[in-house]
Structure formats: C-alpha cells, structure tokens
Amino acid sequence: MQKQKKQPQHQKPPQAPKQEQKRTPKMRLPQGRSFWFNIGIAILVFFIISSIYTAISETQSDDKVIPISDVAREVISGSVTAIIAEGDVLTVTLKDGPEKESHKEAGVGVPELLTSYGVTPEQLAVVRLEVKGESGFLFWFFNIMPILLPLLLIGLFIWFLTRQVKGAGMQALSFGQSRARFFDPKDKQRVTFKDVAGVKEAKEELLEIVDFLKNPKKFLDIGAQIPKGVLLMGSPGTGKTLLARAVAGEAGVPFFSISGSEFVEMFVGVGASRVRDLFQTVKQAAPAIIFIDEIDAVGRTRGVGLGGGNDEREQTLNQILVEMDGFEPTEKVIVMAATNRPDVLDQALLRPGRFDRRVRLDLPDRKDREEILSVHARSKPLTEDVALKLIAERTPGFSGADLQSLMNEAAILAARENRQKVSQFDLIRSIEKVLLGPERKSHILSDREKKITAYHEAGHALVASVLPNADPVHKVSIIARGHAGGYTLSLPLEENRLLSRAAFIDRLAMTLGGYAAEMLIFKDVTTGPSHDLETATALARDMVMRYGMSEKIGPLALASDDPRSGMKGFEEREYSEKIAAIVDEEVNMLMTNARTTAERVLKEHDKALEAIVAHLLDKETIEQPEFESILRSHGIKVKKEETVIA
C-alpha cells in the first residue's frame, strides 16, 4: 500500500519519424499451406478446362444427331436435298424437316460411305454435296487439346514446385543479410538535440562525434583519432536510442539501427554473416552511424554460455570485435551501442580501440524533468492553469519515457471527457496512473476493509510526517489502484543522490507504519502490509550486506550482482554460516527497531491519527494542503523546502 515506483521505460521521440526503410526486405519462409494452396489452384484450373471441353462437346450431342444408316435411308427415299461435310460431321438438310447431324469415319468420303449403305449413284446425284474445311478453333480444340491438356498440367505443376524451391533458396540466401533499419538523413522530421531534453553532459560528450562526422579533416590533420565506438549506458527509458538518433540527425549522416537480438538465429554462422553484411553496407554509405540497441544480447562475457566457445552468440560477438578492429583510422564510421547492463559486457568490447567512449545517462533531475515535459507538451494544447514545474516536482525517479507516458495519459483523459485542452488536474491524475495503475472503481471495500485501509495509510503518512529524515507526504488515498488497496505518495524535498543511514532507518519506520497501525488499533494484521514487509526487509538486508551500515558486520560488502548470470540474488555466498547468522540478527534488529519507532510515533500522535482516518473515511483522498492543515492543528511541524531548484 506504500508508494510504488515503476521501472522506467525507453524514452521515445516527440515526433514520429517517417516510416523506416529496410535495405533488405524480409522474406518469409515458404509454408506447406501455400504449397498445397497452389496445387489446389492447379486442380481447379484442370476441372474448369475439362468442364468447358465437356460443355462444348455436349452441345453437339443432342437429339439432332442421327446414325449414318438413317442418312442413307433418307437419301434413298428422296427426302435429302443437301449434305454438307465439315470434317467428320455431316449436316443433312431435309425437304420438309429440320437439319440433322451425323458423324462419319475419318478419311472416308461421303459418296463412298453412302454407297456402302445401298445408295445408288442416281439417288446420290439429286443430293447437293458440299465439303467444308473444319474451323481452326474446333480443330485445335478437339484434336490438340486432349494431348496438350496433360502436358499443360504437368508443366504447371513443375512451375509451382520450382517457385517454391526458388523462394526457399532466396530465403536461405537472405539469412546472412543484415536486418538493420535505415534512417534517411534528409528526412525533415529527423531527431536532433533540440528534441532531447536534459542529459546535458551526454550531449556535450557526443558533440565531438557530431563535429568529427561534419568536419573529419580538422581532426585528421592534427593526428587525432576519434573514438570508434560509443557506449550509451543508463536505466531503461533514459533516452539512449533517442540520443543516438539525435547524433545522426545533427551530423546529417545515414543512421543504421539494429537490435542485438536480431543478429542471432537458430542457424549457425548467421549472426556473424549479418555483422559482416552490416559493416560492409555502412562503409559504403560512410560517413554513417551504426547503432546496436541492447548490445548485451550478444556482447555478454564469453565462456559462460551453454555452447561454450562454439556458441552462436559468441561467434557473433567475435565478428563484431573483428569488424571494429578492421576500421581504418580515416574511416568515417561510428559504432554506437546502448545497454542498461554494462556490467555483463565482455571486456574485449570495452577496451580502447572499440567502445572506449562511454556515456552514462542518469535519471533526469527536477529541472530536466520540466524540460522533458515541455518537449512532450509541444503537440498538446494546455490550459492556462498547467504548471509543468509542479508536475516535475511530483515525479522524482521518473524517466523520460515515464514522463512521455504521463503526458500521453493526460491527453487521453482530456479526450475521454470531451475536452479540447489538457488541464493540470489531468496531469496530476496521470502521475498516479503511471505510478500505480488505473483506479479500480469496481473494487468496492466493505466498511471494515475501508477502515483498516484508512488506518494503514494514515500510519504511513503520520510516521513519514513526524520523523525528520523521511520524505514529506503529498497525497494519501484509500482508492484502490493497480494491486494496491490504497497509497501514500511521499516525495523528497530535493534530489538526493546519496542517502544516509538515518534516512534509511526513518524510511524503514515509515514503510512499517501501516503494519504498526493495524497491530496497534485492531490487535491483528491483514495481508495488506505484505508488500511493505518485502520492501522493508530488502532495504534492511541491503543496509547490512551492501552499504556497510551494520555495526556488527562493519564495512563489508557481502552481496553483489553476478555479471555472468545478470540476475540479482544468484551469486555464490562467500561468507561463513556464522556471518550469515549475524546478518539475520542485524536485519531482524533493524526491522524490530523500525516497528518500535513507528508504534511510538502513532501512540504519541494518536489524535492526529484519528483525524487523518476520519478525513479519509469521509473523502477517501487527502491532498497536501489539507494534510498539512491537519498536522498543524495537532501541533506537528510541517516540513518545508528551504531552497527551490530553479
């Protein structure tokens, strides 16, 4: 139920660039379904042709067709006036009836045929005989089609198979081609340093890269060599990718972007082939920038993978190292990479001559946050009451990506309520949504649960307000958000990079304030403080094992992140069972003292606790002015900021 901080995300540019173009289009593997679909089309075509052939044939096989013997009898009786022979078809014209059709054997003349049936030459002389050549269409259709149709179907089948094999071959050949995305330097919407707020030191560091790409002769004439690789390090969402694109935008050079995971495939050697293809392509476009995002996907320390030295990821890393070594001093290609885990990277990547320039991007301070908010507010209409400075003060620990999400959520709230501008209230509500999640309006608490939650949050808020080293409270609420049934928003008076042992001890007491209030009032505890207990225990253990803040343990670091596993808590224990027992005792002592401190504060200011609870049960939310008014009315000094960072 205590304030939760969300992990920062990647900062995104304020304006979306044009659609990215890929130098090599991705090809999809042929699937069995498409092959059988083509076979089905071939069969369908066969049936259509057969149906047409049958239909034409049947049109000539009706009740008008008579045998040749009947034709002979009609000639003998004198009823026939004319016989027209067209191929093997005989059209017989009668004196008093319709025309009839008959068929004769191929190669046999009409007179010879009728004579064989008893027709005399005198009877045949009165009949007009006419022989016509068979039409081209019918001749070809009826004589050639029976032979051509099977050949046509076989050829069609072979063509389909050939196309499938060709597609598979092209796909196989394209595996080794780079999947890098290309950004045109002539794009009018390209990102520049104007679109990147904060990170002043990082931008100053990268101005040398921009200057080299614009005026390389100035550096080469004096014998200077620009760094071949620049590694951007920082938490997720601090703007590493955005800053790399801004360097390319400022220099006006081509920008090739690819993720580290895009090098690796299931086939051995594909990653190394893609690296070679990428560097070859970029050299042809020099001066240019290669940007490898999340390079730790392929750049982790070698020798610890499941595949040993033959691991595909390690082969890809080896090829990257070789390509970076192959750069000539005069080549105008800069390799930039980004990672939030520089501790797991192979040392060969970090040596001079490769990624020898390292730029760290920290979370923005208050002034930087205000600038970032201003950048993201360019395309959003704001009301006159919007004070971005106040929003920046309320968002310590927010990354650039969090601030972009905050502005976007505020715009969504305004649009949902059919308003044309974003107000200050929208921005304040968006802070809580980004931190804790949306309100759970359907989560209705019973009267008892509501009362327990009110005491819990009041305990947090009161302990934080009384203890001198705890952060002041800005808001208290018992409205459920995300996984929390309620929350207390406490923010520091100023940006603190270093925290003292006294600050940690007061933070422990504040974290256990909700637990202490439940035990003090209800003589029982619910599952509500579960997250508080996890947070407090982890903080107490870090104080003992990482920060040297235990008198018994002393200045020893007993815990560290294992760079090989990349996961906290999986390192091997390098201390004895006796030391482990002392660690447990020290952690238990810190937790017990924090609970005792919280209970003492709540007992001393029980009337203020009841006043806060009554206000929460009535209005469900207490903002900072109302909360400070309650504190003053009960003789509690309000924490005020002495200096304001401009």
Assess whether pLDDT exceeds 90 at residue 459: yes
Mean pLDDT of the 102-113 span: 71
pLDDT value at residue 313 = 76
Looking at the structure, give the CATH architecture of the domain made up of residues 60-134. Answer: 2-Layer Sandwich (3.30)
- Report which of residues 601 and 166 the model is more confident about: 601
Looking at the structure, give the CATH architecture of the domain made up of residues 447-633. Answer: Up-down Bundle (1.20)
In the chain, count of helices (H) and strands (E)? Answer: 23, 14
Name the DSSP letter for residue 507. Answer: H
Assess whether pLDDT exceeds 50 at residue 613: yes
Check if the beta carbon of residue 307 is closer than 8 Å to that of residue 271. Answer: no
Strands 181-183 and 89-94: unpaired
Radius of gyration of the chain (CA): 42
Active site (annotated) includes residue 494: no
Assess whether pLDDT exceeds 60 at residue 566: no
Class (C level, CATH) for 366-436: mainly alpha
CATH tag for 181-361 (out of 3.40.50.720, 3.30.70.1250, 3.40.140.10, 3.40.50.300): 3.40.50.300
Between helices 501-511 and 530-545, what is the axis angle to 10°?
Answer: 160
Range ranked top by mean pLDDT from 359-373, 431-445, 486-500: 359-373
Range ranked top by mean pLDDT from 97-106, 166-175, 453-462: 453-462
Burial of 590 (0-12, 13-18, 19+ CB in 10 A): buried
pLDDT value at residue 288 = 83
Assess whether pLDDT exceeds 50 at residue 568: no
Per-residue confidence band for 216, with pLDDT thresholds at 50, 70 and 90: confident
Report the candidate in 586, 393, 436, 594 with the shortest Cα–Cα distance to residue 507: 594
Alpha helices, DSSP H, located in 352-399: 366-376, 388-393
Q: What separation in angstroms does the CA of 596 have from each of 387, 469, 505?
A: 40, 17, 12
Check if the beta carbon of residue 309 is closer than 8 Å to that of residue 303. Answer: yes
In this structure, of 10-14, 218-222, 577-581, the range with the lowest mean pLDDT score is 10-14
In degrees rounded to 5, what are phi and psi of residue 314? Answer: -70, -35
pLDDT value at residue 268 = 60
User: How far apart, in whole angstroms, are the C-alpha atoms of residue 591 and residue 541?
Assistant: 10
In this structure, of 121-125, 248-252, 373-377, the range with the lowest mean pLDDT score is 121-125
Mean pLDDT (the chain) is 77
pLDDT value at residue 84 = 76
* Burial letters 284-307, b for 16+ CB under 10 A, else e: ebbbbbbbbbbbbbbbbbbeeeee
Question: In the structure encoding, which two tokens stand for residue 36, read together?
Answer: 């059988």
Q: Name the E strands within 516-587.
A: none
* Burial letters 14-44, b for 16+ CB under 10 A, else e: beebeeeeebeeeeeebeeeeeeeeeeeeee
User: How far apart, in whole angstroms, are the C-alpha atoms of residue 623 and residue 632?
Assistant: 15
Residue 514's SS3 state is: helix
Range ranked top by mean pLDDT from 158-167, 173-182, 545-554: 545-554
Assess whether pLDDT exceeds 50 at residue 110: yes
In this structure, of 152-166, 302-316, 606-620, 628-642, the range with the lowest mean pLDDT score is 302-316
pLDDT value at residue 605 = 93
Query: What dihedral angle (degrees, nearest 10) is formed by the CA atoms of 373, 377, 381, 383?
Result: 10
pLDDT value at residue 646 = 22
Assess whether pLDDT exceeds 80 at residue 363: yes
Per-residue confidence band for 23, with pLDDT thresholds at 50, 70 and 90: very low
Q: What separation in angstroms does the CA of 78 have from each of 71, 127, 131, 516?
A: 11, 8, 20, 127
User: How far apart, in whole angstroms, are the C-alpha atoms of residue 470 and residue 487?
Assistant: 16
Catalytic residue (one of 74, 432, 457, 586): 457
- Give tens-digit pLDDT for 257-313: 888 777 776 556 677 778 888 888 888 887 888 888 888 888 888 765 544 444 677
Bridge partners for 181 per DSSP: 22, 257
Per-residue confidence band for 178, with pLDDT thresholds at 50, 70 and 90: low
Q: Report the percent of the chain where pLDDT is more than 90.
A: 17
Task: Please give the helix or strand (H or E) that residue 603 lies within, else none.
Answer: helix 577-604
Q: Is the peptide bond before 287 cis (omega within 30 degrees of 0)?
A: yes
In this structure, of 31-40, 109-118, 415-424, the range with the lowest mean pLDDT score is 31-40
Task: Please give the helix or strand (H or E) that residue 115 lies within, else none.
Answer: helix 110-115
- Give tens-digit pLDDT for 77-92: 777 777 777 767 777 7
Residue 339's SS3 state is: strand
Query: What dihedral angle (degrees, nearest 10) is formed by the CA atoms of 304, 310, 313, 316?
Result: 130
Listed by start position, the domains of the chain span 32-58+138-174, 60-134, 181-361, 366-436, 447-633
User: How far apart, in whole angstroms, are the C-alpha atoms of residue 430 and residue 434?
Assistant: 6
User: How far apart, in whole angstroms, are the C-alpha atoms of residue 626 and residue 632?
Assistant: 10
Per-residue confidence band for 107, with pLDDT thresholds at 50, 70 and 90: low
Query: The pTM is what?
Result: 0.63
Assess whether pLDDT exceeds 50 at residue 171: no
